[in-house]
Amino acid sequence: MRHLNPTLYEVIQEWANDLPIDYEVQREGNTRDNLHNSKEKIVACLIEQFPMSYRQSYEVYSDLFNQSEIFSVYHSLDTINVLAMATGSGGDVFGLIHAFEKYFKGKTIHIFSVEGNEDALQSQTNLFKRYIEGNLIANKVQLVPIPAVIQPGLRGLKEELKDRCFTPYGVEKFDLMHGFKWMNEKSIRGWFHPYHFYAFFNYHLLPDRVAVWLETVDLKSQYQGDRSLSQRAIFDYVKYCHHFQEKNHLMALTPTPCIARHLSGKRKQCEGCLGCFDEIDTYVKSMDERANRWQGQSIFVMKFASGPLGRELSKYLQDEHVGYQTAFFNGQPHFCTLNSTKEMKKVANAFVLGNLSKQES
């Protein structure tokens, strides 16, 4: 993010300097109970989490918009309505806005941003007004903050959206939906299942659109949820496809080939796998400003496309001779093919669509 948005980065650094000298930024900025964060903790998260979320979101959406079929859909829209869930101070939202700026011009973009911690949402609105909105040259973005605590099973969310989005804006279905790093939050951990998320996306996402769900993965975490998230996500997706059948128009595109293997009944080939994840590094300033440091995080990203677009794109991901890099264990890349009995002839990243388009495959 330092390179993507240096001004914003400098501002965060200034706030950091106002924290008490002995404040444990790394610890306080990396909890799983962010819903109840104090203002100081929100600053700690701005240092520890925000730049990574910004970068990851920018990379994820650049990959999607880089795909010619997806680009064409969004290129043809005048207005783009986005629903973003549990957005904190908005690293994920601003990374998306940055990607929109890179790929599109002249769009009106409404971002309905749901967040349960009102101070974090206020920080997001302030950052947007001071450091994002004024710098936009390609698109007109309106950020609509929606303070709401999302309940397990997404109960009550529709009522909140009705008052702040469906009725005032006449928007009930979205052009893009996302949720970043909140499934293992203490407020819902264990009560909220990815299954609910898929059903919600399936209902509220327009056909021929994209959605993203991104979470951090930590195989050494003390929380069971952090270690098993990717397996749960895939398992629930298969269950959800089975239940929804023809009512489902949500196709999961990544991680390939993990999903395709499970859907096609080759699940046994994944036994013993610790999970699939990608790593995106961010280069950040350390708190004492004497040196810069790399901040790395493993992430699990599900990219979805709906309707005919989803069906078309998922066809490109069926080459049995591609070895997909699904993880990196002990310094070694880990590859899987769609069918483990087939020989790997070329390689790709399990989370990246960009180079798998029809023209290039």
Contacts with ligand SAM, residue ranges (CB under 6 A):
34-35, 49-50, 53, 86-88, 91-92, 115-117, 120, 149-150, 180-182, 185, 187-188
In the complex, least distance from residue 61 CB atom to ligand SAM, rounded to whole angstroms: 13
Angle CA(306)–CA(248)–CA(309) in degrees, nearest 5? 20
Cβ neighbors of 337 (< 8 A, separation 6 or more) are 257, 320, 321, 322, 323, 324, 343, 344
- Residue (151 or 318) nearer to ligand SAM, CB: 151
Peptide bond into 257 cis (omega under 30): yes
Name the 3-class secondary structure at 163.
Answer: helix
Give min distance, CB of 86 to ligand SAM, in A: 3
Residue closer to ligand SAM, measured from CB, 84 or 263: 84
Q: Which is nearer to ligand SAM, 50 or 112 (CB)?
A: 50
Q: Are strands 205-216 and 174-180 parallel, antiparallel or unpaired?
A: parallel
User: Least distance in Å: CB of 42 to ligand SAM?
Assistant: 8
Rounded to whole angstroms, the Cα distance separating 226 from 219 reads 7
Which one, 70 or 299, has the nearer CB to ligand SAM? 299
CB of 218 vs ligand SAM, minimal distance in Å: 13
Minimum distance of ligand SAM from residue 332's CB (angstroms): 28
Q: How far is the CB of 51 from ligand SAM (least distance, A)?
A: 10
DSSP string spanning 57-112? HHHHHHHHHTSHHHHHHHHT-SEEEEEEES-TTSHHHHHHHHHHHHH--S-EEEEE
- Looking at the Cβ atoms of 49 and 67, the one nearer to ligand SAM is 49
∠52-281-183 over CA atoms, to 5°? 45
Name the 3-class secondary structure at 115: strand
Beta strands of 286-345 (E only): which ranges?
Answer: 292-306, 322-329, 332-336
Two structure tokens written together for 124: 């997001």
Nearer to ligand SAM, 199 or 322 (CB): 199
Decide whether 301 or 352 has the Cβ nearer to ligand SAM: 301
CB of 171 to ligand SAM, least distance (A): 20
- Residue 102's Cβ-count burial label (10 Å; 0-12, 13-18, 19+) is middle
Q: What is the closest distance, in whole angstroms, from the C-beta atom of residue 26 to ligand SAM in the complex?
A: 14
Name the minimum Å distance from CB 29 to ligand SAM. Answer: 10
Toward ligand SAM, which CB reaches closer, 159 or 289? 159
Closer residue to ligand SAM (CB): 120 or 143: 120
Query: Under 8 Å CB-to-CB from 132, ≥6 apart: which residues?
Result: 8, 94, 97, 141
Residues 225 and 43: their CA atoms lie apart, in Å, by 25
Which residue reads 């400098």 in tokens? 10
